[in-house]
Chain A
Amino acid sequence: MRYQQKLLGVVASTGLLSIMLLGPFAPAWAADYKQAPILDEQVKAGKLPAVANRLPEKPYVETMVDGVGKYGGTLRTTILANGDQYNLTRTIANELLVRWDPQWKKVMPSLAEEFKASDDATTYTFKLRKGLKWSDGQPFTADDIMFWYEDVFMNNALSPAKNPTFTVAGKPVKVTKIDDLTVEFKFETPYGLFLQQLAYGQGHLPVIYPKHYLKQFHEKYNKEGIPALLKANPAAGDWVALFNSKVSLSFQPPFWQNLELPTLNPWVLTVPYADSERVAATRNPYYWKIDTAGNQLPYIDNVTWAKLDDPQVMALKMTSGEFDFAFRHINNSTFKSVLFDGQKTGNYRIVDVKDLPASDAAILLNLTSTDPVKRKIFQNKDFRIALSHAINRQEIIDLVYVGQGAPAQVAAQPEHELFNERQAKQYTEFDPKRSNEILDKIMPKKDAEGFRLDETGKRFTINFMVADVFGLSYPDIMQMVQQYAKDVGIDIQIRTTDRARLNTMWAANEQDAYIWNCVGGLSDAYTDVRCYMPFQKADIFFAVRWAEWYANHNTGEEPPANIKELMAAYDKVNAAVTDDDRRERTKEFLNLSADNFLNIGISRPMPKYMMVSNNLKNVVNGLPIAGNLWHPAPTLTQWYFDKSTK
């Protein structure tokens, strides 16, 4: 009965889905576990243990949309031929200690069947499911997590810098093994957001290092054997390179190159990424999830990715019915009409995906610019307000985004609990008159061409870096912004560049301003606040010196009092323990961020979409996802082919 109680717990915690589930629900006992027919022969031949022995004592029970599915089939999808290994990761690798529920509202048990946070938000205890197994049948226990912690994470050769998910205030976590199935993560200072961080894709680190396989490549365990292994691997110069070529942090290519690496994923690799014209994976017979009728998941036997070099060909092949599923690279407005028209010939349907950041296009002025004159003007909130009123957002959205968007500042989406109407709406009206009035107070003098002069008497010019990224048409948007700014006497010079060059400029704090998209539209507004305050993270650098100071008070520059207040408000979010407290603290923080009005948003994003075959069932419509909340891996195990529908 323990199992049944557990199951009800899972059901209750999944909100809406539970209603669908309760109807056909029947308890499944160990003897009733069923497996995919393609595994029957291997079990009969004695090559595989029986399904009940492959599953953990209490398997994870997946909730369904359309109900219990059927086994079989190959999911045909696609991938860019080079540099797209994250596509594999996002499609089949998302097994974590804890996970987000499909609605991205709550952190739920996953590999850990139970987890507990201490009242001061410093200590987290995870109890693993008993009997979990790697894809080669070896047990997954607390020792594997300790191997990651002691021999990978704390090993300075393998991890010269510590992953920020597992550090707080510069201090790395302390992990202790309580027993074979229990581990404790302890931080020196409160870290209330740890469970949320751990539930995102990049929180996988503790569970991707199988000790029994990897210790042969580790100096500590196999000092004598390593020279011989190095000889056999000409690409590796030392044991660190060798180790990194077998498993890699952040799913770099070696991860998708090594067929031997045991995993906890639903499918295991059979054709690696770099070798052929396709990538292929087949079902993991030891996968640890079942459906409500006791069928071991996943339903689909194989996944294949056709490697293509051009998204145009992806779209063409989708419309000619060569794929069952496609998502990345062709789900933007460029391809939408073609893919919409091709639904009949391609036998697929278009399903909404709520990939909703806080802004599709945000203007980021460098508040800590090295130029003292520009810095003073950029730091002036009134100047930012004036520039914001000068922009005709609706016109940009109509012309560049063919109406797909809404005029808004950088803010959480209206459907989300953290939505702040003032933050989203303030200063978005197109009002050049008002803009001119404000600017007349800041920079009253103009030159012969009507451009405003700064305090040194020179024309005030913003050199705007523009990279054409994400298919979001930034060069087109900036052409329009340049014109709007000119109408109120601000000179914007557009400097077209690429992402790599921008990266070096950010690091050196050389840019005046640039345009980018902003994360934090849904629940990532809790953990990823890089657009809401100076915060050290990739891609967003509007006040890099202050962000450095926030990360480490010995670096960067001390920000003014209002920014310090904002940072202190976020510290309170991080110290909150209960969900309610965290939500209220975050609301206060976002409200304060709105007061500071640090960057200028242009357009609020609209949902994206994916293509799925008409034969596929159990596909959730309108699933929320984000850059670090992967898709479709968290729900793909429940997809199945229903051949009866045509």
Chain B
Amino acid sequence: MLRYIAKRMVFAIPTLFAVSIVAFIIIQLPPGDYLTTLMADWASQGGAVEAGTVAAMRDRYGLDQPIYFQYYKWIAGILTRGDFGISFDFGKPVTELIWNRLGFSLLLSVLTLCFVWAIAIPIGILSAVRQYSISDYTATFLAFFFLAVPDFLMALSAMYIMSAWFGQSVGGLFSAEYVDVSWSLGKLIDFAQHVWLPVVVIGLGSLAALVRIMRANLLDELSKPYVTTARAKGMSEFELLLRYPVRLALNPLISTIGWILPAVISGEIIVSVVMSLPTTGPLLLRSLLAQDMYLAGSLILLISVLTIIGTLISDILLAITDPRIRLQ
């Protein structure tokens, strides 16, 4: 078991390296650099653009150096000092900007995951047990409907409905009066009042896949002889269902953690921009648009780490629940 985990972790390291290189190259692919964006910004504000100033800044930021040298400087800083470089756009070290946001991103992802599982598993069971019934069709229809609606549209509509019909303050994770105060019971309640909307919006999009997986898995199990045997022995239908086939059907669901975590995080980016959440999403979008490369590169790297950790967790969970995987 330990050997298995160690092996998976060793595999994760080259993946991370590859991701960091690809991320860094992709950020640099568009023409121009951060200073091009800065010049455009100045221009649109009626400011003067002096070529000399821009050249001096380019020199200062090291933007005129070859890309492999910039990458080396960045990655060496991370590995040796935990220094992710400077965000040009904010004039601050990247580490000061991202940890807080990364925390909210992770919290949002975990809450969403819990929400999706709590909804998807019962609906999946219901659809499998009452296959081709009205409830099966309704659940399937709704799940596919939410899969088909783009999440930014869902976010906008949900916000409009909550604001216009229920008079709730939308956007962000806190009301204005709680933004700058430290945590308290009031702030926690306020947070709960705000956080459910993005959780539902992000969660509904990935609901369909999980419902369908649960349903298909369970259908496979329901027709197996051990179910018939248990039923013949007079076991109650509900107990039978939860004790045997559902447990088996959950197995493949565990392996979905690996891909649902990145899906939630990337879905979160768009929804966060639309709903103005203090997560990494909006920061990543802006840093990419501004070609603020150390900030963007660090964010992509950290999100990739999260994804790889997610995959690792699902591998380990699978190994724990399924001895066949351990043996391979």
Are the CB atoms of B86 and A240 closer together than 8 Å?
no
CB of B60 within 8 A of CB of A82, answer no
Chain-A contact segment, one of B20-28, B51-59, B203-211, B219-227: B51-59
Is B232 an interface residue, CB under 8 A from the partner? Answer: no
- Residue from the list A306, A528, A538 in contact with B172, Cβ < 8 A: A306
Q: From known contacts A234-B83, A240-B60, A313-B275, infer whether A539 and B176 are also in contact, taking CB-CB under 8 Å.
A: no
Contact status B93-A276, CB under 8 Å: no
Contact of A500 (CB < 8 Å), options: B36, B92, B156, B160: B36
Q: In the complex, what distance in Å separates the CA atom of A278 from the CA atom of B278?
A: 11
Nearest A residue to B56, CB-CB: A160
Assembled-state Cα–Cα distance A628/B47 (Å): 7
Q: Which of B171, B173, B273, B278 contacts A316, CB < 8 Å?
A: B171
Residue contact B48 to A306, C-beta cutoff 8 Å:
no
When A201-B46, A310-B273 are in contact, do A83 and B176 touch as well, CB less than 8 Å? no
CB distance from B251 to the nearest CB of A (A): 39
Instruction: State A280–B40 Cα separation when bound (angstroms).
Output: 27
**Interface pair A309/B32, CB less than 8 Å apart:** no
A503 touches B90 (CB 8 A): no
A307: chain B residues within 8 A (beta carbon): 276
Minimum CB–CB distance from A159 to chain B (whole Å) comes to 7
What chain A residues lie within 8 Å of B172 (beta carbons)? 277, 306, 308
Among A306, A307, A310, residue most surrounded by chain B Cβ atoms (within 10 Å): A310
- Measured CB to CB, the nearest residue on chain B to A628 is B46
Shortest Cβ distance from residue B91 to the other chain A in the assembled complex, whole angstroms: 4
Alpha-carbon separation in the docked complex, A606 to B250 (Å): 62
- CB contact under 8 A between A82 and B286, given known A277-B278, A503-B40: yes
Q: Judge whether B282 and A309 touch: CB under 8 Å.
A: yes
CB neighbours of B160 from chain A (8 A)? 316
Binds B, one of A29-37, A245-253, A478-486: A245-253
Within 8 A of B (CB), among A235-265: 235, 237, 240-241, 244-245, 248-250, 252-254, 257
CB-based contact A83/B39 at 8 Å: no
A510 to chain B, nearest CB (A): 11
Q: Are A320 and B176 in contact (CB under 8 A)?
A: no
How far apart sit A159 and B57, CA to CA, in the bound complex (Å)?
A: 10
Task: List residues of chain B with CB within 8 A of the CB of A503.
Answer: 32, 36, 39-40
Do A164 and B89 touch across chains, with their CB atoms under 8 A apart? Answer: no
Complex formed: what's the CA distance from A628 to B170 in Å? 34
For A493-512 the 0/1 string (1 means CB < 8 A from B) is 00000111101100000000
Complex: how many Å from CA A306 to CA B177?
Answer: 11
Complexed CA–CA distance, A304 and B177 (Å):
11
Q: Which residues of A contact B179 (CB under 8 A)?
A: 276-278
Chain A residues positioned under 8 Å from B90 (CB to CB): 253, 257, 274
Q: Is the CB of A500 within 8 A of B45?
A: no
Instruction: Report the Cα distance A519→B273, complex, angstroms.
Output: 32
Smallest CB–CB gap between B275 and chain A, Å? 7
Given A274-B92, A308-B171, residue A200 in contact with residue B46 (CB < 8 A): yes
Determine whether the beta carbon of A81 is less than 8 Å from that of B282. Answer: yes
B40→A499 contact, CB < 8 A: yes
Given the known inter-chain contacts A278-B180, A500-B30, A504-B31, please indicate yes or no for A310 contacting B274, CB distance below 8 A.
Answer: yes
Is the C-beta of B10 less than 8 angstroms from some C-beta in chain A? Answer: no
Flag if A274 contacts B97 (CB, 8 Å).
yes
**Contact B273–A309 (Cβ < 8 Å):** yes
A76 interface contact, C-beta 8 A = yes
What's the Cα separation between A436 and B41 when bound, in Å? 41
Q: Which residue of B lies closest to A626 (CB)?
A: B46
In the complex, whether A317 has a CB less than 8 A from a CB of chain B is: yes
Report B-chain residues with C-beta under 8 Å of the C-beta of A202: 45-48
Residues of A within 8 A of B167 (CB): 320
Chain A residue numbers with a CB within 8 Å of B180 are 271, 276, 278, 280
Binary interface encoding of chain A residues 525-538 relative to chain B, with 1 for a CB under 8 A from any of its CBs, else 0: 00010000000011
Residues of chain A in range 278-331 having any CB-CB distance to chain B below 8 Å: 278, 280, 304, 306-310, 312-313, 316-317, 319-320, 322
**Cα–Cα, bound, A319→B36 (Å):** 36
Query: A22 interface residue, CB < 8 Å from B?
Result: no
* B286 in contact with A627 (CB, 8 Å): no
* Complex: A219 Cα to B241 Cα, angstroms: 77
Residues of A within 8 A of B133 (CB): none
Some 23 contacts from A to B, beta carbons below 8 A apart, are: A86-B41, A86-B45, A160-B50, A201-B45, A234-B93, A235-B92, A235-B93, A237-B60, A250-B42, A280-B180, A307-B276, A309-B285, A312-B156, A313-B171, A316-B163, A499-B40, A501-B30, A501-B31, A501-B32, A538-B39, A538-B43, A538-B48, A626-B46
A contact set with B: CB distance below 8 Å? 76, 81-83, 86, 89, 159-165, 200-202, 234-235, 237, 240-241, 244-245, 248-250, 252-254, 257, 271, 274, 276-278, 280, 304, 306-310, 312-313, 316-317, 319-320, 322, 345, 498-501, 503-504, 519, 528, 537-539, 626-629
Contacts A538-B47, A539-B43 supplied; 12 other A-B pairs, CB < 8 Å: A83-B289, A160-B52, A163-B48, A253-B89, A253-B90, A271-B180, A276-B180, A277-B173, A312-B156, A313-B274, A320-B164, A537-B48
Chain B residues within CB distance 8 Å of chain A: 30-32, 36-53, 55-56, 60, 83, 86, 89-93, 97, 156, 159-160, 163-164, 167, 169-174, 176, 179-180, 272-276, 278, 282-283, 285-286, 289-291
